[in-house]
Amino acid sequence: MKPASLIVLGITGAAALGVVAVLASVALKQEPETGLLAWQDPEIIGRGAKIYRSECSSCHGGLDGSAPAADAPEPSAPPHDENGHSWKHPDYVLFGLTKSGEVAELCLTGNGDVEMPEFAEALNDRQILDVLSYIKSTWPEEVRARQEATNQIYAAQNAATRELLENGGS
């Protein structure tokens, strides 16, 4: 091979390696979005906290360790902190159950007249996501990490739900 050809080949090879290095660097810096909840966004968490206090805390208790209200229906609903089971579900399931009220029949009181409301009638999708983001923001790091591992398993379902929500249909 002629020296000029070797120089061109070397420059081309170096350029190709540079492009690969830049692309790999960008890919490694971006973590895949596996969940739906913006639990690190202070604005969203603030909105969710207000809604949680007015719509959820009377039965589920406060997320600051306070107990359910004295006049809460008996039995009161499970807590949404690390002692409850919310964190065991992927984000899309939490969203769907909250919106649809599917769990309403499981949340009846002893006299059967109070149940978890179907929040689709009371809250819009954004508000439901805000509340769930607030709830997630209160979990200890270890609990959030475990829930995120569950989200990774269900990344496709979370992505499909995100797409539906972004396109105005859910």
Q: Over the stretch 6-47, which tens digit does the pLDDT of each residue have?
A: 565 556 655 555 444 544 444 444 444 678 899 999 999 999
Q: How far apart are CA 146 and CA 43, in angstroms?
A: 24
> In the structure encoding, which two tokens stand for residue 166, read together?
């972004």
> Closest Cα to residue 129, out of 48, 50, 58, 61?
48
Q: Does domain 34-166 have CATH number 1.10.760.10?
A: yes
For the segment 148-163, the average pLDDT, to the nearest whole number, is 93
Q: Would you place residue 59 in the very low, low, confident or very high pLDDT band (cuts 50, 70, 90)?
A: confident
Domain residues of the chain, as ranges?
Answer: 1-30, 34-166
> In the structure encoding, which two tokens stand for residue 3, read together?
């020296």
pTM of the model: 0.71
Q: Over the stretch 71-120, which tens digit does the pLDDT of each residue have?
A: 665 546 778 888 888 899 999 999 998 888 766 555 544 445 556 666 77
The secondary structure of 62-111 as a DSSP string is: -TTSPPPPTTSPSSPPPPSSTTSSGGGS-HHHHHHHHHH-GGGGGG--TT
